[in-house]
Amino acid sequence: MEYIYILFSQHNTRKPMVKKIFFILLSLTTISCRSQILPGVTAGGSSHRGSSQKEYVDIPDAPTFSDSHTLVYATTGSGIQSGDTGSKIDFLVGSDYPFMSFNGLSGNYRIKSLDGTNPSTWATLGSPSPNDYSFSASVSTPGVEMYNLRLVDSDNILKMPGASPTKNYIFQNLILEDGSFAGFLINENVAGQDYGSVTYRNCRVLRSGGEPWYNGKTGGGSLAFFRGTTALYDCYSEDVGRDGLQFNGHTNVVVERYLSYNGGLDITNSGIGQSNCIQIQDVYTFSVKKSIFWNFPAPGMIAADDGLFEDCFFYFTDDTRTMYLQSMVSNGYTEMVHTGGTLTFRRCTFYNPNFTGTELFTMQGSTRNYVFEDCILPESVDGPAGDNTVDEICDDQRSDKVTYSVTISGTTFDDTPNIPSFSNPPEAAFIGFEKVISDNYYYYLGYGPRNPNGL
């Protein structure tokens, strides 16, 4: 029997753009279809969606600059000052820079590569020689939007000082590589110099020695805070030294469709407490949805009175490490206390087939309600107390066990849950810079970057 392989693509003209990639196998005499249907999902008619057919949301285009000025290193040097701007606020980067600093610019600026076709044509900021940063600002703090750029090789790849009044930032379709410590290091601690809203879309951080996103100060006190919303959409990290995400001192955090692939690699130097899937501390409210944290030593450290983890997958490897649900006040966090809020875990999977602990959560915070709903936990947690009791899943260290409620429902225990798999993105130019979810189960549940089912 002979077969014909046909490959074609189609673009949906609606926003957000969705790239449809179809692989069809035709027999010269018969046509055969196979599909994997999720529990509770019914296939209708002849429409079948198998593992060979996936759609991914297109990477958003940078905005069009109608009146711009081109920056070239040979003309400006590394420090961009008012005399280098051509009296414009939109900049095209027309050459590579060993590093770039906005010096004394205090307005709002947009910057992108002169040729934004794909990463091979983007301008690169950073050089192999040691630098403190690849991009930052000094003297005064501007609002910045950045698109279609590669930032590489520095100690902390992208730094921004705080400001008063606060400034807002947009980072879209950036690639940060080989930072000795952090990728996005936005945490300069100057009292009264705060941050506004920060939005990341389709950003990737590869091989950072510390956190790929290190947003905010650590420890208590009254230094810089994020006073707006910090949001990550469709972002990716790979092979990072410390936590997959870190947020400290934020009013509101939103994370959707994030994939952090391999992390906590510097555990010998950083310790287990800085090698978590995620660290959220001194945050007023947050939500993390449709996200995967893959292969970290520890599951997380959370000091927030009001937040939601929904449809998240945590793969961690330490055989006894729990997720710490910390006390705000006992850890010195007082700015973002949200007494009486609710910390919720909904449809989250905690995967560690070698886990030997009898509880998964160390529950220390006494100023919040807790909800654990339809989560999958390691089998060793399934003790004699019953599947949906506090003592079953939590090491309850709260000083007040009466004032606020703990609700547990639908808990199951499984060392072999459905496991996500990953593949290259559809565009050849972005292979090596990110991964997308490829298995049917998590794809159709909407997990991971660029997944249209997670919108």
Binned at pLDDT 50, 70 and 90, residue 219 comes out as low
**Mean pLDDT score across all residues of the chain:** 89
Q: Tell me which residue of 347, 273, 334, 276 sits closest to 308, measured CA to CA.
A: 347
Tokens for 264? 């906590």
CA distance 405 to 393: 15
Across the range 273-294, mean pLDDT stands at 97
Indicate if the pLDDT at residue 263 is higher than 90: yes
Question: What is the pairing mode between strands 307-316 and 341-346?
Answer: parallel
Exposure class string for 78-98: b at 16+ Cβ within 10 A, else e: eebeeebbeeebbbbbbebbb
Q: What is the percent of the chain with per-residue pLDDT over 70, rounded to a whole number?
A: 88
Q: How does pLDDT run across 227-252, given as a tens digit for each residue?
A: 999 999 999 999 999 999 999 999 99
pLDDT given for residue 387 in this prediction:
76
Q: Which residues have C-beta within 8 Å of that of residue 264, sequence separation ≥ 6?
A: 240, 241, 242, 243, 244, 270, 274, 275, 276, 296, 297, 298
CA distance 104 to 93: 19
CA distance 165 to 193: 8
Q: Which residue has the tokens 């009146």?
A: 67
pLDDT given for residue 5 in this prediction:
35
CA distance 379 to 355: 8
Q: Tell me which residue of 304, 301, 306 sits closest to 242, measured CA to CA.
A: 301
Indicate if the pLDDT at residue 29 is higher than 60: no
Q: What is the percent of the chain with per-residue pLDDT over 90, rounded to a whole number?
A: 82
Q: How does pLDDT run across 33-69, given as a tens digit for each residue?
A: 333 333 333 233 322 233 358 999 999 999 999 999 9
CA distance 359 to 391: 8
Indicate if the pLDDT at residue 20 is higher than 90: no
Indicate if the pLDDT at residue 409 is higher than 90: yes
Indicate if the pLDDT at residue 401 is higher than 90: yes
pLDDT given for residue 258 in this prediction:
99
Indicate if the pLDDT at residue 405 is higher than 90: yes
Q: How does pLDDT run across 336-381, given as a tens digit for each residue?
A: 999 999 999 999 999 999 999 999 999 999 999 999 999 999 999 9
The torsion angle over the Cα atoms of residues 127, 128, 133 and 136, rounded to 10 degrees, is 0
CA distance 159 to 232: 17
- Geometric angle at alpha carbon 97, from 263 and 79, rounded to 5°: 110
Residue 196: how many other CB atoms lie within 10 Å:
18
Indicate if the pLDDT at residue 4 is higher than 50: no
List C-alpha distances in Å: 164 to 56, 169, 248, 349: 40, 14, 19, 41
DSSP character string of 48-69: ---TT-EEEEPPPPPPPPSS-E
Domains of the chain with bracketed CATH = 3-60+418-454 (no CATH), 63-147 (no CATH), 155-413 (2.160.20.10)
Cα within 13 Å of Cα(408), Cβ side: 16
pLDDT given for residue 12 in this prediction:
41
Residue 413: how many other CB atoms lie within 10 Å:
18
Q: Which residue has the higher pLDDT, 389 or 321?
A: 321
Binned at pLDDT 50, 70 and 90, residue 220 comes out as low
Indicate if the pLDDT at residue 411 is higher than 60: yes
CA distance 205 to 297: 19
